[in-house]
Amino acid sequence: MTSKSIIGFIGLGKMGAGFTARLVESGYTVIGYDIDDACCQAAKAKGVEIAESPAKVAERAEIIQVCVISTTAVEAVILGEGGIVEVTQGQGKTVVDHSTTELETTKRLAKTLLERNGMQFVDAPVSGGPGAAAEGRLAIMAGGEQATIDAIEPLMSTLGKFTRMGEVGAGQATKLINQALVLSNYCVIAEACNLGNRFGIDVSKIPDALSSGYAGSNLLNDLLPRMVENDFEPRGYARQILKDLHMLQDAANALNVSMPMAGTANSLYSMLVSQGKGELDGAAIVSLLEGVTPERSS
């Protein structure tokens, strides 16, 4: 793959904007699509060529990256009217799904694309947010055939740390583990923020004070200052966090795995979204916990 390779990108929202900015900056020609015209126009202003459908993107690109809001949206992009599956000459093309997609659907889509179009499929969900995408600092966890992974590795390494976790589906399984770790910690960090405020200490100093110990982390450094400032401008939406937590809980139930911490996070974000705060950043969980009356042991 050369720096002049044509890359398709479907989903030009917050994450997609970060991805495509990095790709254009790195010398790739990017053909994009989004159902939201405002997202298309914003991407066009940043150097992305806009196609009229996912199929039109896939016709021109060797690698087609997808980053959309839900499993249903991924299915629509691939199997729906004007979808990638309509491309008749799929040999040599690879679809890379960066969305957080249901595991069994991921496997089914991979099988369908290979059988109907000869396309390869890699599930490669990410962690890190729009800023990390734009700066090439994403954690990218992938599932797919080794040869396909090797072929897309130069492109993926432009975007972040790229790790093959196994066959198709392994990337999504790893992303659920990531979400269990990260989203439970959203709630723990919110608790710590509230506790610090009650102690009367300068909570903004906590990330620096703890940076050399076990409690220091990138998540603490990023999230706690926003909680302190009540900065809930969405980098990602609380409703999306709840969607991922539901997916995590469903997967755990199917495997008969107990996940009480993730279950608590699920309950808390359900409460937050039910209060009409689903369009806020996940950091807004701190506002919910401020109003929770603590249970006292006898």
Whole-angstrom Cα distance, residue 8 to residue 288? Answer: 40
Amino acid present at 10: I
φ, ψ dihedrals at 157, nearest 5°: -65, -20
pLDDT for residue 90: 82
Contact partners, residue 114, CB within 8 Å, separation at least 6: 120, 121
Span 173-289 CATH architecture: Orthogonal Bundle (1.10)
Q: What is the pLDDT of residue 263?
A: 96
Residue-level pLDDT, tens digit, the chain, 298 residues: 444 579 999 999 999 999 999 999 999 999 999 999 999 999 999 999 999 999 999 999 999 999 999 999 999 999 999 999 999 788 899 999 999 999 999 999 999 999 999 999 999 999 999 999 999 999 999 999 999 999 999 999 999 999 999 999 999 999 999 999 999 999 999 999 999 999 999 999 999 999 999 999 999 999 999 999 999 999 889 999 999 999 999 999 999 999 999 999 999 999 999 999 999 999 999 999 886 555 544 4
Domain definitions of the chain by residue range: 6-167, 173-289
What burial letters (b/e) apply to 166-175, b meaning 16+ CB within 10 Å?
Answer: eebbbbbbbb
User: Does this model's pTM top 0.85?
Assistant: yes
Q: Which CATH class is domain 6-167?
A: alpha beta
Q: Active-site residue numbers? A: 175
Pick the closest to residue 206 from 183, 227, 186 (CA basis): 227
